[in-house]
Chain A
Amino acid sequence: MAAIKVFGHPASAPTMRVLLTLHEKNLDFEFVHVDLMGGEHKKEAFLARNPFGQVPAFEDGDLKLFESRAITQYIAHRYEGQGTNLLPADSKNIAHYAIMAIGMQVEAHQFEPVAAKLVSEQVFKLKKGLTTDQAVVAEEEAKLAKVLDVYEARLKEFKYLAGDTFTLTDLHHIPTIKYLLGTPTKKLFTERPRVNEWVAEITKRPASQKILQ
């Protein structure tokens, strides 16, 4: 009976962030499927786990969490000795940790809002039988290009975003990147050599392969 439970949906990028982290750490957990189509995430039982009515929610024993990036950070710290280290190599070094923290904020505030719109327009809308708004795609791709230019420069200096090792900063990008690679937006990644290499590295990891079908 696993102490760790994830309440989510396999197609949800935030859920995938948490699953990736658990796989990287080789942790046992139970996945509890939340029926998004049936509106389960907006019903009382789930709202008790996440009042914002969004997947994923998480449990480790009596600790209950939500917000994927809070969950991944908890896992990375709590299980620091296990599996892949997802914190900077010298995790007690506050300056190194701050550099990783910058990267996590950049993913959350600069990358994801733009990238999520592109996924919504080009993937989710189609699943709902709606059409892609190409004007929105063009506008958002222009913004994403500028973010990726900064990433390209960064990755020329370091193998990964926070330094020379894979950390949560890189991991948090994987689910949304996975979606974008299945759309024309893929070109923004492939036309930047270091970004392209980085994407290949992070998506070929065994944990990534487990959740990226």
Chain B
Amino acid sequence: MRTILQGSLLPPPPIKLSHSSLLFSPSHSHYSNLKFTTKSSPSPPTITMASIKVHGVPMSTATMRVLAALYEKDLDFELIPVDMRAGAHKQEPFVSLNPFGQIPALQDGDLTLFESRAITEYIADEYSEKGEKLMCPGCNKVKAITKVWLNVEGQQFDPIASKIAFERIFKGMFGMTTDPAAVQELEGKLVRVLDIYEARLSKSEFLACDCFTLADLHHLPVIHYLMGTDSKTLFESRPKVAEWVKKITARPAWAKVVDLQKQ
């Protein structure tokens, strides 16, 4: 089950996921973009003006995280689907983009990136003048507080919340059954995190500061899924958290990400 939990959360393919299929060929430079050598795109050539390509699928939480940042910044991009059911993410050419065999990967011209939270940070920095600001304005100290809450999402919230989403939603898609005991245990942990969020949001309009930042954005995909399940009560029963969830999910950029799922 861990194979399914790693990286982006989405329905596993019906074939057995095998870690040993993470192929690596020594002749591939995995993220040798420091040399900025031109890499040929692994996908079939497409005629596109977008210099930004996202390799992923709209159902994947990690892909959604990146798409949200791109929409917030009003950036043109091309979403190149990865055939998860066929295990394309574990094979060439995808593993040349991400040697860990997980979606998404992003290409911006010659630069190839993976790990959704590194990608969003890149988007926020590289395109800082475009669209919405996704980092708190300010000096080192303010940036540091943002990093705290970015780490909180990645280290405290996501490991628990994504497992709940897996239990309640994705297991069902794969013909597996939700484990109610697991859900209960996980929710017991999540409420402790959400109590901390409630206290934080009583002092700050958004998690890192009084503006919407990546620290809030990174939560959107998993919260989106959980709000469609009984776990939503954990969020709704905490007034500040509920207000925050309403605000961040109402953002137009997020609506565009959700729309992609319907296509």
* Cβ 8 A contact of A108, one of B99, B122, B147, B155: B155
Name the residue among A71, A109, A110, A142 with the largest chain B CB count within 10 angstroms: A109
Q: Is A154 in contact with B30, judged by CB distance below 8 angstroms?
A: yes
Given known A102-B115, A108-B155, A157-B29, contact A150–B100 (CB-CB < 8 A): yes
A119 to B196 alpha-carbon distance, docked (Å): 28
Interface membership of A66, Cβ < 8 A:
yes
- Contact size class for B? 35 or more
- On B, residues with C-beta under 8 Å from A are 2, 6-7, 19, 22, 24, 26, 29-34, 36, 99-100, 111, 113-115, 117-119, 121-122, 125-126, 140-141, 143-145, 147-148, 150-152, 154-156, 159, 193, 196, 199-200
User: In the complex, which residues of chain B have a beta carbon less than 8 angstroms from the beta carbon of A65?
Assistant: 144-145, 148
- On A, residues with C-beta under 8 Å from B are 51-52, 63, 65-67, 69-71, 73-74, 77-78, 94-99, 101-102, 104-106, 108-110, 113, 142-143, 146-147, 149-150, 153-154, 156-158, 163
User: In the complex, which residues of chain A have a beta carbon less than 8 angstroms from the beta carbon of B159?
Assistant: 113
Given known A78-B140, A98-B118, A150-B99, contact A52–B111 (CB-CB < 8 A): no
Q: Is B122 in contact with A101, judged by CB distance below 8 angstroms?
A: yes
User: In the complex, which residues of chain B have a beta carbon less than 8 angstroms from the beta carbon of A146?
Assistant: 19, 22
Q: Is A102 in contact with B113, judged by CB distance below 8 angstroms?
A: yes
User: In the complex, which residues of chain A have a beta carbon less than 8 angstroms from the beta carbon of B31?
Assistant: 99, 102, 154
Q: Is B144 in contact with A73, judged by CB distance below 8 angstroms?
A: yes
Q: Is B111 in contact with A95, judged by CB distance below 8 angstroms?
A: yes
A154 to B32 alpha-carbon distance, docked (Å): 9
Given known A52-B152, A78-B140, A108-B154, contact A99–B147 (CB-CB < 8 A): no
Q: Is B144 in contact with A63, judged by CB distance below 8 angstroms?
A: yes
